Amino acid sequence: MRGANFLIGYVGSLPLKKITAYSATKMLLNGHVQKRIVSCGKSNCRCARGEKHWAYYHCWSKDGRRYQNYIRRGMLNQYIEACAANRELRAQLRRGLIQYKRALAVTGLSYPEVLVARGRNIAKGD
């Protein structure tokens, strides 16, 4: 089995893609934006006469339950950008983990072995 110095040198030589820096002010939202035909229920709206209109909702799941929030038209672009930014960040994290596991495979180590070597107990879920 090769040493940790080899792993550090190997990872340092990999052609890593640039990971976008996310500032604390950038909004990240899980889920997606959905466009629906709805009847709002207001008495003076055209949908009271039977002409339904479009509404936008932010939809996400948590603990197996589905949630939704109405989005005002002025906030629509912010919600779309926040959901897209969250998807992009998660994709970058997945790519990074795959690259990390490939680097470990070159050294002959597996992902759980590295966690145990760092003092983390996998059985406890640390």
Question: Which pLDDT score is estimated for 7?
Answer: 45
User: Of the given ranges (15-19, 43-47, 117-121), which has the lowest mean pLDDT?
Assistant: 15-19
- Number of structural domains, the chain? 1
Look at the block and give the residue holding tokens 């490939």. Answer: 102
Q: pLDDT tens digits, residue range 40-95?
A: 878 888 888 888 888 999 999 999 999 999 998 889 998 998 999 889 888 988 88
Q: Answer for the pair 118, 104: CB distance below 8 angstroms, yes or no.
A: no
End-to-end CA distance of the chain: 25
Residue 27's CB: how many other CB atoms inside 10 A?
12
This prediction has a pTM of 0.61
**What confidence tier does 18 reach under pLDDT thresholds 50, 70, 90?**
very low
Structural domain span for residue 33: 4-117
In the chain, where do the E strands start and end?
Answer: 32-38, 53-62, 65-71
Going from the C-alpha of 125 to that of each of 61, 90, 94, 115, 120, the distances in angstroms are 23, 21, 20, 11, 8
Question: Which pLDDT score is estimated for 122?
Answer: 52
In a domain, 123, yes or no: no
In a domain, 124, yes or no: no
In a domain, 126, yes or no: no
Residue 16 has pLDDT above 60, yes or no: no
Question: Which pLDDT score is estimated for 101?
Answer: 81
Q: pLDDT tens digits, residue range 80-112?
A: 989 998 898 889 888 888 888 888 777 777 666
In a domain, 43, yes or no: yes
In a domain, 16, yes or no: yes
Q: In whole angstroms, what is the distance from residue 107 CA to residue 96 CA?
A: 17
Per DSSP, 1 falls in state -
Contacts of 114 (CB under 8 A, 6+ apart): 104
In a domain, 84, yes or no: yes
* Cα four-point dihedral sign 46, 47, 52, 55: positive
